[in-house]
Amino acid sequence: MRMAARKKKFKVTYSKVELKIPTVQKRRLKAFCKTSNTTINKVYRKAIREFIDRYAHPTGHTQMISENQMTIFDICEDPAAAYADKDIED
């Protein structure tokens, strides 16, 4: 019997990103990486991944609409008939 062919792996492509940070932040980042046994790039990637996971999917904000707000579907076919039904006090 012949074995099933393996699936071809998807090739991951990367893009280069440049980032400018102050020297003080760079020193603090190096110190953090040294104490955490990690690299600067891993810290950047993790921070970006967490930010995207948190803010990439909006929660579906719904806007509050008052009762008096008119929509485009509130238009009557005969505007004269709509005003004729109202009692207007002089």
Mark residue 37 as left, alpha or beta (left: phi above 0; alpha: psi -120 to 50; beta: remaining): left
What sections of 1-90 are H helices per DSSP? 23-36, 40-55, 79-84
Residue 84, token pair as written in the block: 């004729």
> Contact 40/33 with Cβ under 8 angstroms?
yes
Residues 39, 33: contact at Cβ < 8 Å? yes
Note the pLDDT tens digit of each residue in 39-82: 999 999 999 999 998 887 766 667 777 777 766 666 656 666 66
Tens digit of each residue's pLDDT (9 = 90 or more) over 6-41: 888 889 898 998 989 999 999 999 999 999 999 999
Q: In the chain, what are the domain boundaries?
A: 21-56
Check: pTM over 0.85? Answer yes or no. Answer: no
Q: In one letter, which amino acid is 36?
A: S
Amino acid making up residue 23: T
